[in-house]
Amino acid sequence: MNKEELKGLLPHREPMLLLDEAEVVDGEAHGKITITGDEFFVQGHFPGNPVVPGVILCEMLAQNCCVLLADDLAAKGATPFYTSLDKVRFKHPVRPGDTVELTCRLTKARGPFRFATGEARVGDDVCCVAEMSFALMPGEKN
């Protein structure tokens, strides 16, 4: 999916749409975003040494997970809401010029809840890993 196709699935819009592309391959969501340095979240984080904030990396993972939830979201007319973020580890900084590659897998479903794991990499460097959960809430998605 390109950015315009992602807008048909995700409720996010610029400047909070944090994926350039994504696809599902063998039950995993693979997404990418290239950090240009113009993003709002690196403007003051940190002057002279711009770094993508960890919380933004977690949001990138969450949006990538939503690609795995496409069938659920369409069938239920639901919006995914983050419900937990566990075992988060930040291992390498992400800077302007980097392309972040995201990989997420669903691990469990229970009622309206979906559980997943995710990893963000730049090249061979693991930047962030996390376990996440989401609630699929009825309502408008756009």
Structure token digits, residue 68: 């795995």
Query: Contact 82/134 with Cβ under 8 angstroms?
Result: yes
Total number of residues shown for the chain: 142
CA distance 48 to 118: 30
The active-site residue out of 12, 30, 45, 92 is: 45
Classify 117 as helix, strand or coil.
strand
Q: What is the 8-class DSSP label of residue 4?
A: H
Ramachandran sector of residue 128 (left: φ over 0; alpha: ψ -120 to 50; beta: rest): beta
30 is catalytic: no
Report, as residue numbers or ranges, the catalytic residues: 45
